[in-house]
C-alpha cells in the first residue's frame, strides 16, 4: 500500500474518532458509522488482496478507555476511543497450501484396513502415525488417501469424528452429506458408543471405575472449562503398568490422555502428557502412543452395527513381553 493511501486512511481515522467523541450514541451505532465510512475502502483492499493471494487482517477492534465494552455502551465526552491503527496496516502474503498427494501404493495399502464398506459409510482401522485430516502440523492424512481410492470415485469422504494422529483404531468415514449429518447427530446425543484400550504407567487402583474431570482448554486466549467423564475397567496390572479398557461418555480433546495423566498413570508413549519422559523411554522403550480405539457400536434404522479393530504389532508385542 502506498504512503499516500496510508496517510489518507489515517486522516479518515482521525476524523471518525473526532466525530465519535462529539456524539452521544451507543457503541453499536458508532460501529455502523465506522463501517459505512470504511466499507468502500475495505472492499477495494479485499479485491486487491484476492488478486495478489494476500490476507487482510480484521479491523473490528474497538475499545473505550482501553477496555472492551458492551455494544449498548454510550460514548461520553472525554472517553478515549481506540480503533484499529490503520497506519500499521499491512497486507501479508497468504501461505501457499500444498495438498498431500498419496502414492498409488499407499492408497492400495488401505484395502487391508477396511472393516466395513457400503454405499453410505466406511469403517477403517486407522494406523497410528497418520492424521485424520490435514492441518498446520499434519501433512499426510487419511482423508486425502481415501478420496483418491476406488471407494470414493463418485463422492468424497466426510469426517464425522476424529482420532489423534498417534492413536490407532476404529474410524467412521461417511460417504454422503446425509450420513455425515446423521453420524454427527448420533455422536452429539451419545448414541455412538466407543471403547478404547490403553497401556499406562504404574498400577491403577482397583477402586477407580469412573474418571471425572474439569478439563481446561485455551481457545483464542480464552480459558474454557469442560466436564469430562469416562468409565474405566482394569483388564490387567503389574508393578510397572496397567492394561485398561476405557469408555468415554463425553468427547473432549485428548480426554483419555489427560484423565489418565491426572490420576498419575499417563499412557505409555505419550509425549504430551507424561511425568518423566526420559525415564519412560529408557524403561519401556516405546516411542509410540499405546492407545487404541478398539470397538464402536451404534444403531441406524433399527440395525445394530458393531465393529472391532485389532491392535497393531507394537501393542501386541508390549502385552506379550510384559504379561
Q: Which of 144, 148, 164, 280 is catalytic?
A: 164
Backbone dihedral angles phi then psi of residue 41, each to the nearest 5 degrees: -65, -45
Sign of CA dihedral 276, 288, 270, 97: positive
State residue 92's pLDDT score: 55
In angstroms, the CA 289 to CA 260 distance is 13
Q: Which domains does the chain have, with CATH numbers?
A: 3-93 (no CATH), 97-189 (3.30.2350.10), 193-323 (3.30.2350.10)
Decide: 139 and 100 in contact? Cβ < 8 Å. Answer: yes
CA-closest candidate to residue 206, choices 228, 237, 246, 230: 237
Residue 170: in which H helix or E strand, if any?
Answer: strand 168-174
pTM for this entry: 0.69
In angstroms, the CA 77 to CA 315 distance is 69
State residue 59's pLDDT score: 45
Task: Output the 3-class SS for 56-119.
Answer: CCCCCCCEECCECCCCCCECCCCCCEECCCHHHCCCEECCCCCCCCCCHHHHHHHHHHEEEECC
State residue 230's pLDDT score: 98
State residue 64's pLDDT score: 79
Pairing status of strand 114-117 against strand 92-93: unpaired
Query: What string of pLDDT tens digits covers the 323 residues of the chain?
Result: 444 444 444 455 566 556 555 555 565 566 566 556 555 555 555 555 555 555 544 445 667 787 777 666 777 777 777 765 555 555 555 555 556 777 877 888 888 999 999 999 999 999 999 999 887 666 789 998 999 899 998 899 999 999 999 999 999 999 999 999 999 999 999 999 999 999 999 999 999 999 999 998 877 677 889 999 999 999 999 989 999 999 999 999 999 999 999 999 999 999 899 876 555 554 555 678 999 999 999 999 999 999 999 999 999 999 999 88
Decide: 287 and 173 in contact? Cβ < 8 Å. Answer: no
Decide: 38 and 121 in contact? Cβ < 8 Å. Answer: no
In angstroms, the CA 67 to CA 33 distance is 20
CA-closest candidate to residue 160, choices 127, 196, 132: 132
In angstroms, the CA 305 to CA 223 distance is 38
What does the chain come to in residues? 323
Q: Residue 237 forms beta bridges with which residues?
A: 242
The burial of 296, by beta-carbon neighbours within 10 Å (0-12 exposed, 13-18 middle, 19 or more buried), is given as buried
Tell me, yes or no, if 164 is annotated catalytic: yes
State residue 252's pLDDT score: 93
Decide: 307 and 170 in contact? Cβ < 8 Å. Answer: yes
Amino acid at each position: 500500500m502506498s504512503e499516500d493511501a496510508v496517510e489518507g486512511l489515517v486522516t479518515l481515522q482521525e476524523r471518525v474518532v473526532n466525530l465519535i467523541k462529539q456524539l452521544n450514541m451507543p457503541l453499536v451505532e458508532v460501529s455502523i458509522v465506522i463501517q459505512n465510512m470504511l466499507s468502500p475502502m475495505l472492499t477495494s483492499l479485499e479485491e486487491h488482496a484476492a488478486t495478489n493471494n494476500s490476507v487482510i487482517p480484521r479491523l473490528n477492534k474497538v475499545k473505550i478507555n482501553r477496555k472492551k465494552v458492551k455494544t449498548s455502551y454510550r460514548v461520553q465526552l472525554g472517553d478515549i476511543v481506540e480503533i484499529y491503527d490503520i497506519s500499521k496496516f499491512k497486507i501479508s502474503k497468504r501461505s501457499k497450501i500444498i495438498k498431500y498427494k498419496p502414492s498409488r501404493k499407499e492408497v492400495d495399502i488401505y484395502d487391508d484396513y477396511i472393516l466395513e464398506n457400503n454405499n453410505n459409510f466406511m469403517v477403517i482401522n486407522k494406523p497410528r502415525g497418520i492424521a485424520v485430516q490435514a492441518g498446520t502440523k499434519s501433512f499426510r492424512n487419511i482423508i486425502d488417501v481415501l478420496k483418491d481410492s476406488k471407494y470414493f470415485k463418485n463422492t468424497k469422504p466426510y469426517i464425522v469424528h476424529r482420532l489423534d494422529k498417534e492413536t490407532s483404531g476404529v474410524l467412521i468415514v461417511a460417504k454422503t452429506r446425509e450420513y455425515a449429518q446423521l453420524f454427527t447427530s448420533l455422536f452429539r446425543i451419545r448414541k455412538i458408543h466407543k471403547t478404547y484400550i490403553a497401556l499406562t504407567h504404574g498400577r491403577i487402583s482397583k477402586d477407580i471405575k469412573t474418571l471425572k474431570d474439569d478439563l481446561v482448554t485455551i481457545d483464542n486466549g480464552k480459558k474454557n472449562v469442560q466436564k469430562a467423564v469416562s468409565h474405566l475397567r482394569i483388564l490387567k496390572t503389574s508393578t510397572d503398568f496397567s492394561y485398561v479398557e476405557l469408555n468415554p461418555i463425553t468427547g473432549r480433546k485428548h480426554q483419555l490422555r489427560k484423565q489418565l495423566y491426572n490420576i498419575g498413570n499417563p499412557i505409555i508413549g505419550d509425549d504430551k502428557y507424561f511425568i518423566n519422559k526420559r525415564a519412560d523411554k529408557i524403561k519401556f522403550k516405546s516411542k509410540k502412543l499405546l492407545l487404541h480405539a478398539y470397538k464402536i457400536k451404534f444403531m441406524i434404522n433399527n440395525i445394530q452395527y458393531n465393529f472391532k479393530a485389532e491392535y497393531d504389532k507394537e501393542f501386541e508385542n508390549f502385552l506379550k513381553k510384559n504379561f
